[in-house]
Amino acid sequence: MTTKEIVIFGAADANTMVQARDVASRAERVALMADNHFGYIMPVGGVAAYRGKVSVAGVGFDIACGNAAIRTDWQLSSFEGLEALADEIAAAISFGIGRKNKSDDAPVNHPLFEGAAWEAIPDKHARDQLKAKAREQLGTVGSGNHYVDVFVDEKGFVWVGVHFGSRGLGHTLASNFMALAQNQPWGTRVKETEALLSLDDELGRAYWATMNLAGEYAYAGREWVARKVVSLMGANEVEMVHNHHNFAWKEHHVVDGESEEVVVVRKGSTPARPGQKGFVGGSMGDDAVILQGARDVKPEAFAAMFSTVHGAGRVMSRTEAAGKWDYKRKVRKTTGKISKKMMQSWLKKKGVILRGGGLDEAPQAYRRLPEVLKAQGKTIEVLHTLKPLIVVMAGEAEFDPYKD
């Protein structure tokens, strides 16, 4: 299961391993979850532990991307009108860059907008602009693999699940702290490189504060969207499962034979301490799961730094799957390996109602989640299997610079 100092669940391709070894040259410990694939600087599905430092590239551009799922009190057997509900979700929730719906109840006056962490942004004008953009985008879902889904579990209960992060706020923070780490002023566009920031330094503390601000922002957005859909259904919330999977935490883990506090960066990886629940999606045409970290702790769980997958993991890049898209003219410039007929055939067989969605997110572009979960071994326990009924995503022609 190990290659030198890197713990690997399942398998990893050559390019992903190159990235993982590069991360391992700086980190104290590195692990790859079974949904791992090539990413920006650090592999998606990667976990890395650092002594007193945080990796801006590791947390990524979509700071605090994560999943939230709500179990409702509704039984599918008593519910009709799935097609109408799909249309209502698509109309009530905004997908893409800004808010396009008419909702007046998005939490744009959330207390987070008065938080002290905003002061860590050195330029007041930039700070005010970013805060205004964040207000505008709070409660929007974005595009790419971000979604709102309606599921049914093995007991017939209906769930609502969402996947997205901190939108333009997180992207702007990551880009600019990379610039500051290269001694460039806020607002300067720089090459995407690793920036390891010490939490003992002013810059590292500023990033940590704003990263947590983006985490609070992402939580507020996901909870509002998920609860909005539950209200559209006329159902009641019974339970919420909510996690970041692009984030950093201060945790205790064994390093060099001793337990110590380290900064654990999870990029596309779900925290999974014993009994800690997580919502993990597959693809638009596959089941999702509610899982938890195994209560009977095995050595593999320590090796994974109490982490697990965040999804099924891609087997094709977006371009490989769908070809290239001209967003200005809204036409396809080149074709990929997946056709609309292939995607629709899969969804019809699974009985999934789709609104929006592009070929880059077709089920064929992803691994199968059961295989990925099996590769995680006894580190996790599946509590519920969620069959997709409705999937709502941004349309194929929707350009969104913050989708990753």
Binding site annotation covers 171?
A: no
Closest to 269 measured CA to CA, from 251, 287, 296, 295: 251
Domains defined for the chain, CATH in brackets: 2-51+63-395 (3.90.1860.10)
Active site residue 310: yes
Kind plus residue range of the DSSP H or E element containing 70: strand 66-75
Q: Residue 99 — very low, low, confident or very high, per pLDDT cuts 50/70/90? A: confident
Binding site annotation covers 163?
A: yes
Catalytic position from the list 37, 242, 244, 310: 310
β partners of residue 31: 7, 47
Binding site annotation covers 311?
A: yes
**Is pLDDT of 109 > 80?**
yes
- The string of pLDDT tens digits covering residues 232-255 is 999 999 999 999 999 999 999 999
Binding site annotation covers 110?
A: no
Binding site annotation covers 242?
A: no
Binding site annotation covers 125?
A: no
- How far, in Å, are 40, 66, 253 from residue 168 at the CA level? 17, 15, 32
Closest to 377 measured CA to CA, from 315, 305, 298: 298
Closest to 169 measured CA to CA, from 243, 60, 57, 63: 63
d(CA 248, CA 253): 14
- The string of pLDDT tens digits covering residues 283-334 is 999 999 999 999 999 999 999 999 999 999 999 988 899 888 676 666 767 8
Mean pLDDT, residues 248-268 taken together: 97
Q: Residue 1 — very low, low, confident or very high, per pLDDT cuts 50/70/90? A: very low
- What sign has the CA pseudo-torsion 284, 286, 287, 288? negative
Binding site annotation covers 146?
A: yes
β partners of residue 277: 292
Binding site annotation covers 62?
A: yes
232 burial via Cβ count (<10 Å: 0-12, 13-18, 19+): middle
First-to-last CA distance in the chain? 29
Percentage of the chain surpassing pLDDT 90?
A: 84
Q: What predicted TM-score, i.e. pTM, was given to this entire model? A: 0.94
β partners of residue 288: 386
Mean pLDDT, residues 15-20 taken together: 97
Mean pLDDT, residues 256-262 taken together: 95
d(CA 86, CA 45): 31
CB 72 within 8 A of CB 235: yes
Q: Residue 398 — very low, low, confident or very high, per pLDDT cuts 50/70/90? A: low
Binding site annotation covers 377?
A: no
d(CA 129, CA 186): 13
- The string of pLDDT tens digits covering residues 376-385 is 999 999 999 9
Q: Indicate the residue type of 355.
A: R
Q: Which residues fall within 8 angstroms of residue 227, CB to CB, at 6 or more apart?
A: 70, 237
Q: How far is C-alpha 62 from the geometric centre of its chain's CA atoms?
A: 8
- How far, in Å, are 32, 240, 324 from residue 8 at the CA level? 5, 30, 32
Tokens read off for 2: 């190990």
The pLDDT of residue 399: 57
Binding site annotation covers 245?
A: yes
Mean pLDDT, residues 126-141 taken together: 94
The pLDDT of residue 105: 87
Binding site annotation covers 17?
A: no
CB 144 within 8 A of CB 167: no
CB 58 within 8 A of CB 28: no
Q: How far is C-alpha 297 from the geometric centre of its chain's CA atoms?
A: 26
Q: Residue 143 — very low, low, confident or very high, per pLDDT cuts 50/70/90? A: confident
Percentage of the chain surpassing pLDDT 70?
A: 95
The pLDDT of residue 100: 77
**Torsion from C-alpha of 294, 300, 306, 308, nearest 10 degrees:** -80
Q: Residue 3 — very low, low, confident or very high, per pLDDT cuts 50/70/90? A: very low
